[in-house]
Amino acid sequence: MEIQQLTKEIRNSYLERMKVRSPEKLATSWYQEDLLYEGKGKSLFVIVPTPGCSWALGDGGGCTMCSYISDCTLEPIDKNTIINLFKNELKKHLDEIKVDGKEMPIAIKIFASGSFLNPQEVPVETRNKILKIVSEVDQIKEVIVESRPEYVKKEVLEEIFSIIKNKLFEVSIGLESQDDFIREEKINKGFTKEDFEKAVNIIKEIDHEDNEYTAKCKAYIFVKPILTSEKEAIEEAKNTAKYAEDVGVDRISFCPATIHKGTLIERLWRKGSYKPPWIWSVVAIINDARKNISIPTFMDTSGFGSRRGPYNCKKCNKDLKHAIIKATLQQKPIEDYECQCKKEWVSEIKSSNLNKSKTKTKHLPLI
């Protein structure tokens, strides 16, 4: 496919220039207020270093917007190194977790800059040791990881639950779009809705079996892929949220586009052929979800107000970012907010499809 060839070309060019960092430089963590399944609490976010996402480093070339490989070593890492780095990051926050755990639920989100369930990225022995460490912290009630759908297997989940026992386990999957054409040709995700639904059903099957296991699934939805108008981006995010809920996903996280280095989306942005979504579009998506989606929906505010991220104007960027964070924690709509720049956004939405061809797309002009 053209999209894979171009994405791989850009990826390889970036890898030649990229300065590889050591595992010690890549490992990091932070601890913050969050909304958990049990309600308001706190989450510990831990980045564990890995060789890199197999999809990005393989013939597929990776996703058009993702720069996860810049946070990887690109070479094998000794399993003890990964485990010790994880222990160190957990230790930084352990005292605070033990205190907070008396009054609120605590979650840990383990990010591997790829698929935590892929043994090529996180070896089984390493994965299980990390989970064993987590299982020994009674205050942690929820364990969240990310994975592509092809690595979600019943036997893997059963092995995980044999370690973490009665802790909730959530697998976050980057669905991005309910439209196969958008997901495959504009995002280059490399899997179909059928693949996604299969993974969700495996998770639901584990959760519904007559045992103490609590398995959950979260879907990431990408807001504004390449070659998509502002209006189309809003509608696709809404449609994807409805699809994800209907399929049986437990939570949704919207991820508005930010421009990352070494990606196709960055190349188009530099050529003036792409810009991240308006924050007004994000507000529209959130408020629609509050009305029409019954499961919890979250909004990633990374990059908001920056040159490479979702943007309105200097007057309202910060206010709306804070309003979105507050609305996410409370699961409420964004309160009415007015700014002069909203007129420009409305105008762009109204004119989005004026020059749109009604002929079915057969070729994407990417080069």
**pLDDT tens digits for 14-32?**
989 988 889 999 999 999 9
Report the pLDDT averaged over residues 235-259: 99
Contact indicator for 366, 7 with CB cutoff of 8 Å: no
Domain 2-275+293-304 architecture: Alpha-Beta Barrel (3.20)
Dihedral of the alpha carbons of 23, 25, 30, 35, in degrees to the nearest 10: -50
Q: Kindly report which listed range (6-10, 121-125, 334-338, 363-367) carries the lowest average pLDDT score.
A: 363-367
**CB-facing half-sphere around the CA of 144: CA atoms within 13 A:** 22
Q: Name the percent of the chain lying above pLDDT 90.
A: 89
Q: Where are the domains of the chain?
A: 2-275+293-304
Whether this prediction's pTM lies above 0.85 is answered by yes
Nearest to 251 by CA among 175, 186, 335, 338: 175
pLDDT band with cut points at 50, 70 and 90 for residue 353: confident
Give the pLDDT confidence score for residue 261 in this predicted structure. 94
Encode pLDDT of 90-120 as tens digits: 999 999 999 999 999 999 999 999 999 999 9
> How many other C-beta atoms are found inside a 10 Å radius of the C-beta of residue 258?
19
- Mean per-residue pLDDT over the chain, rounded: 94
Give the pLDDT confidence score for residue 367 in this predicted structure. 52
Q: Kindly report which listed range (189-198, 292-301, 348-357) carries the lowest average pLDDT score.
A: 348-357
Give the pLDDT confidence score for residue 210 in this predicted structure. 67
